[in-house]
Amino acid sequence: MPSHTTDSEYEISADEQRLDIATIHEYLAQSYWSPGVPRAVVERAIEGSLCFGVFHQRKQVGFARVVTDKATFAYLADVFILESHRGKGLSKRLMGFVFAHPDLQGLRRFMLATKDAHGLYKQFGFTELTNPARFMELHHPDVYKAL
């Protein structure tokens, strides 16, 4: 699998050296799922994950992060396309690129959580939890306020 894909306007890459941490942090700190997240936390999350960027004229306009053991499990997180670049099929292209990555093949479970993008993820085979009673969470929604 190539480490990047391009069209005439956009490029998607798994090269973490190209990531614009400032752009990623700015978006995530204002998102519904990680409001106020400190930059240091974003940096640590990126270091411990398989990351993907969407670029337009070498500027980052999208991002996705996968937490994985590269053998049995993966969790998709922090997916976004900047608003000015939406409506061009970039989310779908990004997800296609992510799910084709060689380190994410043959996994027993691939999970995510979303408030409003169910339609996108259903196109890639995601469904609601078959047995939600089996899943538990330890959730600290205000953890970033203490940092």
Say how many domains are in the chain: 1
Average pLDDT score, the chain: 94
In this predicted structure, what is the pLDDT of residue 40? 97
Q: Where residue 131 sits, what CATH number does that domain have?
A: 3.40.630.30
Under the banding of pLDDT at 50, 70 and 90, the label for residue 147 is confident
pTM of the model: 0.91
Mean pLDDT for the stretch of residues 2-12: 74
pLDDT at 129 over 60: yes
Q: How many residues does this entry show for the chain?
A: 147
**Tens-digit pLDDT profile for residues 31-72:** 999 999 999 999 999 999 999 999 999 999 999 999 999 999
Indicate the range of 1-15, 18-32, 34-48 predicted with least confidence: 1-15
CA separation, residue 115 to residues 79, 112, 120 (Å) = 12, 10, 12
Q: What residues make up the domain containing 17?
A: 4-146
Which residue is associated with the tokens 């890459």? 13
In this predicted structure, what is the pLDDT of residue 5? 60
Q: Give the chain's end-to-end CA distance (angstroms, integer).
A: 39
Question: Are β-strands 10-13 and 4-6 bridged in parallel, bridged antiparallel, or unpaired?
Answer: antiparallel
Mean pLDDT for the stretch of residues 106-114: 97
